Copies of this chain bind each other. A is one copy, B any other.
């Protein structure tokens, strides 16, 4: 069933040439809002906001996501700088930073982003089904 191709000489040991992985196809919809080279909002920042909301601080959210505090802080800082009004409110705390909560803007961002993903998948269900039916079972 494979198309005939001119196979590169060195590729025989490559993992991409092993049989296709088994398991049902999973469809992921991701939206990113870019400003120039920066992803102002995307799945990483939204997941981080959700973790901050759940765990109550940037440090706990970072720990939960297996991310450094510094990286989490920078992502949130970058997000807040791209917004008219910030998505988080932080309180000064100890060495690892104090508590952090979502502002109403932050809560709206999470809700809108997840709603967009759900709506996109719902409205495109027919085309997604047509695509996944072309995949190996």
Contacts and interface: CB of A to CB of B under 8 A. Distances in A.
Interface of A: 1-8, 10-11, 14, 16-17, 19-38, 40-41, 58, 69-70, 73-78, 80-93, 96-98, 100, 103, 105, 108-109, 112-113, 115-116, 119-120, 123-124, 127-128, 130-132, 134-137
Given A6-B90, A29-B30, 7 more contacts: A3-B76, A4-B91, A11-B73, A33-B135, A108-B130, A112-B131, A116-B127
Given A17-B77, A22-B35, A33-B27, A115 B127 contact: yes
A75 to B, nearest CB: 8
A32 B43 CA distance: 13
Contact of A23 (B29, B35, B100): B35
A23 to B, nearest CB: 5
- Tell me the interface secondary structure of chain A in the complex: mixed
Given A29-B31, A131-B33, A10 B70 contact: yes
Contacts of A58: 5-6
A30 B32 contact: yes
